[in-house]
Structure 1
Amino acid sequence: MDKFVVSARKYRPQTFDTVVGQKHITTTLKNAIKTSQLAHAYLFCGPRGVGKTTCARIFAKTINCSNPSPEGEACDQCASCKSFNEGTSLNISELDAASNNSVEDIRTLVEQVRFTPQAGKYKVYIIDEVHMLSSAAFNAFLKTLEEPPSYVVFILATTEKHKLLPTILSRCQIFDFKRITNNDTVEHLESIATNEHVEAEKTALQIIAQKSEGCMRDALSIMDKIVSFTGGKLTYQNTIENLNILDDDYYFQLLEAFQKEDLPAALLLYNEINKKGFDGDVFLNGLEDFFRNLLVARDSKAIEILDVVAGFENKYKAAATETSASFIISALNILNEAEINYKTARNKRLHIEMALIKINYLQQAIGFASGGESAVVKKKLVNGPVVLRTKQITNFFTEKVVNTTTKDSNTQGARVYVDPAVIQDKQPTAPKDEPVSKPTIPAAKPLAPSIPSLKKAKGSNLLQSMISQQQEEDRLNTKVIEAIPLEINKLQQVWNAYADELVKLDKHTASNTFRLARLDILPNQTFTVTVQALLQQKFIDQERMLLNETIQDAFYNRNISFEIIIEEGVVEEIPLHQRLNSREKFALLAEKFPQLKNLKDKLRLEIE
């Protein structure tokens, strides 16, 4: 039985042309080899599994090749290439900085640099995961990295360039590797499946490419696993089952339930997904990708970044045309927030169901915000004077039976409606010796309006008619009072009246301050209050809120405001004890009381 070799190792590129998705890197390196413009240090950085170490090995093999091709590729026939392919080359050394990151390891490497290559032109040192080196190791490596011997080439590889020291970055030629696109991954997987005689549907390979997220090594590992699981036949269905991926049909059914606002159907569908063993974060992430693809499918210009498997493009386009952009963006916000808080939620199922409930009723919220029939009425900001509106309150009457007899009518015991306050005022006064018998007054009830149409109304029509009648009464009873222009004489009267009220509250100092202040009217419904001292300003500031409300009520204008100004040229005399510091105060007291200075000297005190 032959020993199995995983595809990631078996189909590892051996030439620049076989490297997938990094043409901008391979072209630059081949041109440098052809023109013999080799740097002494290179830095390959990028995500995992995109070919950094592979390109470093191919580069090291090619620069030591005895008969390179005109295109800059190794010949694979010379002794140097054969030794490299067999893994016995002494000119290429690989160091894993994750496990060899101490100063001693770097010093050992620096000592090896002094020896010239026995065969070939260059000694190449590939340091993988270089960001794992310690700070001391970096410092020990700096001088050698900057000025190595002419026969030495360093190739550093890392996934986290930001962790490297600027002094390291400045000594290297930096090559940024990019993620491998899904199309490139699918093409490479198809070629491997053909070589291995594996039946693979293109949709299955696309799912693998999406799951690998631009990492070719992961894609090959996933493919090996599914081939072992299915016995050499990759289909869309067994691929999504093996990778624990939800079928897009579930998401389309959820979208249909959301559009119909059918919450039970959405919750039952999630219950079915939950029973199949899918984790909540997997479901949330998949639903986010679904809405993201819907948003992309709305515009034909962005259709090339639609990340879906073959055969689903038209389905996404049709669903996107029936869904508004505001709904999709709002759903994405809800799902993003739900995914962020998922780990901290105690009841994770309820947490996801709450997100589904929000999305289900999202169309109603959008209708309110956009100003539909049931939208909330927003108030306008009025720049002019704001009038006060008053409403006359309807009196409540008490039904009372009185006996009335007139010449023209024989009606007795007629029912009339009398104000209870009138009845209370007109009670007869009983003698002091006799107890007062209070008349019995029935419970007050409002006078029912005579609306013939209400008798015929039933159910909801009755409530609607009552509301309409009440709105009409409110409109008729609303009394609009126009704002009074701001005028100095009336303003002064209101100001003085407020000062009189302060006297009643024993605020005599504040009242005198109000009377000494000078009022001046300015445009835009404002006026100034001029005072002569800071203390006077504080007195008026303490009454600002109630004072402003009093003036606004007097002029029926809510836009009136005022500001307080201290009159120029008035300088307040600061008391002497506030002008002097501690030492000056002591000197003044010591001059007046000499014994105080003697006491200070005896006690050896210091004035701060």
Structure 2
Amino acid sequence: MPGPSSPVAFPVFHICRRRNKTTPNYVTFVRQYQEFLMDKFIVSARKYRPQTFDTVVGQAHITTTLKNAIKQNQLAHAFLFCGPRGVGKTTCARILAKTINCEQSTADGEACNTCNSCVSFNQGTSLNIHELDAASNNSVDDIRTLVDQVRFAPQAGRYKVYIIDEVHMLSSSAFNAFLKTLEEPPPYAIFILATTEKHKILPTILSRCQIFDFKRITTNDTVEHLEAICEKEGVKAEPAALQTIAQKSEGCMRDALSIMDKIVSFTNGELNYANTLEHLNILDEDYYFKLLDNMLQQDLSGAMLLYDDINRKGFEGDLVLNGFAAFIRNLLVSKDEKVVALLDTVESFKQRYLETAQNTSSSFLISALNILNESEINYRAARNKRLHVELTLIKLCYLQQAIELTAGDTGLNKKKIAEKAVSVPFRSLQPVLLKLAPAAKVGEPVARPATTGSRLIIEEPAPRPVPPPPAKESVTAKKISSLEKLRQQFKDTHVEPVDHPLTQEALEEAWKEFIVLLKENKNSAAQSFDLAQLKVLDTNSFYVYTANAIEYRFIETCKTQTSEFLQKKLSNSQLQFYIIKRENREVQENTEPKPMTAVQQYQKMIEKYPLVKELKEKLKMELDR
């Protein structure tokens, strides 16, 4: 009971002074007032927090491992609990801390909840359990304070347990300050780290911990746990409402309990499907079934009116698109018996899903899902949100017609076909005879066919009856003879260019002219061309010798221009040259003497003076190498 200075206890303190403490009325009043103060509302997430491993929901693979480790006395010195929010990480950490300090643990590795250690833990007064919120205590000083506390042994119990929640919020310096203690803690210290973002933790921390990955709680496990709590609290709950809450929580038990508390307060202790949909702002799936019927019947007006009714109820367009996409996904799942277990909906709609899926083609569902996905992605960029959703509904209403148009004899095609292609009618034409132009007069310049082309005069033949098959052969023979005459005339008038053979003198003169051209253009490669040496290989090719790599690169960069200039200057279209880098190292090696080594000098010396060898051996001298 609060003290006299408390404002809540102020009336009771004055009653104690005015009345006799032994009177029944006074004792009854104080007891009732104490019950009033103690009877406070506690949310279900705290009130029904599991106290033993057996009561943890949906994490049997972790609780079984921890119990076996406790029974076999194989506890690690550091644990890392990672997983989504609200799945029991901190709860399992507290249960583990309580169980390893229990004085009378059961044979199954559970805490007794009756010994002094368990009672003090349940009341929050245990000195062997320390919790640290790393989100608000993430500095190096906080970790150093924690490390200083680790040095003191527990006053009662076997272990001191340090639970660090949201450990990924620690800074890099704090992690580094924690490494040595985490690797080699005292035998009585156990660290339990909890996080929702495992990828943010340093690898050096991960390697020092036993990692336990918590998974999302399934819908069935969530529903069973909610039903048990509703029975204890005396709340009337429909199974469909609990299934909707479990789906909305997305595997988070804490969220499911918070949602249930809000709806129970909203409905005065009664939990039904309609109130749950209204409170969670969820569109009833019955609307989606009606929308699908309108689309299959291509009833655009009915779909537009139904969407207007949905919009008036306050549902945003992106919520409708997302919900309808999930509805189409459930229909696709319902078409195959192997994956019906993946159907995520309430029990009352499962049979309706199965019946509707059998009457809807897979092509329509897949195409509709693609349209809805694209529309949902572009929803934020649309200025007129309602028009954007209505355009999507128009596409879906005429989707069935588009699929029927694309259906061919062998199935569905990727492209839409409006009508079959029809060939364009052409007028039949008579064969055209070619006549050569008359020869030019004497004195007039004759144009070469290779450059200007031959002039052809097209004459239409006089209409005549269709000749019999032998006549066709004669016409073909005439065409061939005309073609041969044309070829012969082209051969007589066309003069093939003749390439002049390459000579050393002509090559050097042309090379010097190209060097002059480079100097006029102020090209830095002129000097390299001037120093190069030329050697004719055959009538169409020659070698260019350079003294070093720099000259080689300069000539290489101008190779195309050089070839074009020389081919034109020397009248040789097949002219080509090769650049060769030739250095004078061999000549220098042969002309300049090499210095002798110390060993060679010593050998030459002892050949002339043998006593030098004896002197070297007596003095134990060594040669410099």
Give the TM-score of the pair, scaled to structure 2. 0.63
Give the number of equivalent residue pairs.
425
Q: SS where residue 131 of structure 2 aligns? A: strand
Taking the TM superposition and a 5 Å limit, the aligned residue runs for 1:18-97 are 18-97=55-134
Evaluate the alpha carbon distance shift between residue 571 and residue 155 of structure 1 in structure 2; reply closer, same or farther with a 3 A threshold: farther
Is the counterpart of residue 391 in structure 1 residue 421 in structure 2?
no
Is the counterpart of residue 348 in structure 1 residue 348 in structure 2?
no
What amino acid is aligned across from residue 107 of structure 2 in structure 1? P
CA offset digits 1:362-395 (Å, max 9, x no partner): 223323433269946899xxxxxxxx99932799
- Do the aligned partners of 1:142 and 1:167 also contact (CA within 8 Å) in 2? yes
Q: 1:367 aligns with which of 387, 390, 404?
A: 404
**Whole-angstrom distance in 1 between the partners of 2:427 and 2:553:** 70
Evaluate the alpha carbon distance shift between residue 576 and residue 240 of structure 1 in structure 2; reply closer, same or farther with a 3 A threshold: same
**Whole-angstrom distance in 1 between the partners of 2:181 and 2:51:** 29
Q: Which stretch shifts more, 293-302 or 360-369?
A: 360-369
What amino acid is aligned across from residue 278 of structure 2 in structure 1? E
Q: 1:13 aligns with which of 39, 50, 60?
A: 50
Structure 1 residue 70: Cα displacement? 0.1
Is the counterpart of residue 327 in structure 1 residue 364 in structure 2?
yes
Q: 1:109 aligns with which of 131, 143, 146?
A: 146
Q: 1:183 aligns with which of 193, 198, 220?
A: 220
Structure 1 residue 329: Cα displacement? 1.4
Q: Which residue of 1 aligns with 2:162?
A: 125
Q: Which residue of 2 aligns with 1:218?
A: 255
Structure 1 residue 119: Cα displacement? 0.8
Q: SS where residue 348 of structure 2 aligns? A: coil
What amino acid is aligned across from residue 263 of structure 1 in structure 2? L
What amino acid is aligned across from residue 114 of structure 1 in structure 2? R
Is the counterpart of residue 272 in structure 1 residue 309 in structure 2?
yes
What amino acid is aligned across from residue 202 of structure 1 in structure 2? P
Evaluate the alpha carbon distance shift between residue 376 and residue 4 of structure 1 in structure 2; reply closer, same or farther with a 3 A threshold: same
**Whole-angstrom distance in 1 between the partners of 2:426 and 2:296:** 45
Evaluate the alpha carbon distance shift between residue 357 and residue 151 of structure 1 in structure 2; reply closer, same or farther with a 3 A threshold: same
Point out 4+ residue stretches in structure 1 off by more than 2 angstroms: 364-370, 372-379, 388-391, 489-501, 569-577, 579-586
**Whole-angstrom distance in 1 between the partners of 2:356 and 2:68:** 49
Is the counterpart of residue 256 in structure 1 residue 285 in structure 2?
no
- Do the aligned partners of 1:499 and 1:512 also contact (CA within 8 Å) in 2? no
Evaluate the alpha carbon distance shift between residue 358 and residue 585 of structure 1 in structure 2; reply closer, same or farther with a 3 A threshold: closer
Is the counterpart of residue 207 in structure 1 residue 244 in structure 2?
yes
What amino acid is aligned across from residue 251 of structure 1 in structure 2? Y
Evaluate the alpha carbon distance shift between residue 230 and residue 392 of structure 1 in structure 2; reply closer, same or farther with a 3 A threshold: same
What value does the CA root-mean-square deviation take over the aligned residues?
Answer: 3.6
Q: Which residue of 2 aligns with 1:135?
A: 172
**Whole-angstrom distance in 2 between the partners of 1:38 and 1:275:** 59
CA offset digits 1:519-563 (Å, max 9, x no partner): xxxxxxxxxxxxxxxxxxxxxxxxxxxxxxxxxxxxxxxxxxxxx
**Whole-angstrom distance in 1 between the partners of 2:419 and 2:492:** 43
**Whole-angstrom distance in 2 between the partners of 1:282 and 1:116:** 56
Q: SS where residue 26 of structure 1 aligns? A: helix
**Whole-angstrom distance in 2 between the partners of 1:150 and 1:492:** 108
Taking the TM superposition and a 5 Å limit, the aligned residue runs for 1:395-544 are none
Q: Which residue of 2 aligns with 1:169?
A: 206
**Whole-angstrom distance in 2 between the partners of 1:512 and 1:104:** 95
Evaluate the alpha carbon distance shift between residue 261 and residue 74 of structure 1 in structure 2; reply closer, same or farther with a 3 A threshold: same
Q: Which residue of 1 aligns with 2:591?
A: none
Evaluate the alpha carbon distance shift between residue 73 and residue 392 of structure 1 in structure 2; reply closer, same or farther with a 3 A threshold: same
Q: Which residue of 2 aligns with 1:358?
A: 395
Task: List alignment gaps of at least 5 residues for structure 2.
Answer: 1-35, 431-475, 500-537, 556-625
CA offset digits 1:103-144 (Å, max 9, x no partner): 111111111111111111111111111111111111111111
What amino acid is aligned across from residue 362 of structure 1 in structure 2? L
**Whole-angstrom distance in 2 between the partners of 1:245 and 1:75:** 44
Q: Which has the larger radius of gyration?
A: 2
The sequence identity of aligned pairs, in percent, is: 65
CA offset digits 1:9-54 (Å, max 9, x no partner): 0000000010011111100000000000000111101110000000
Evaluate the alpha carbon distance shift between residue 120 and residue 268 of structure 1 in structure 2; reply closer, same or farther with a 3 A threshold: same
Q: Which residue of 1 aligns with 2:184?
A: 147
Structure 1 residue 341: Cα displacement? 1.9
Structure 1 residue 347: Cα displacement? 1.5
Q: SS where residue 347 of structure 2 aligns? A: coil
Evaluate the alpha carbon distance shift between residue 312 and residue 391 of structure 1 in structure 2; reply closer, same or farther with a 3 A threshold: same
Evaluate the alpha carbon distance shift between residue 216 and residue 583 of structure 1 in structure 2; reply closer, same or farther with a 3 A threshold: same
CA offset digits 1:226-268 (Å, max 9, x no partner): 0001000111111101110011110000000110111121121
Give the TM-score of the pair, scaled to structure 1. 0.64
**Whole-angstrom distance in 1 between the partners of 2:211 and 2:344:** 30
**Whole-angstrom distance in 2 between the partners of 1:90 and 1:37:** 23
Q: Which residue of 1 aligns with 2:336?
A: 299
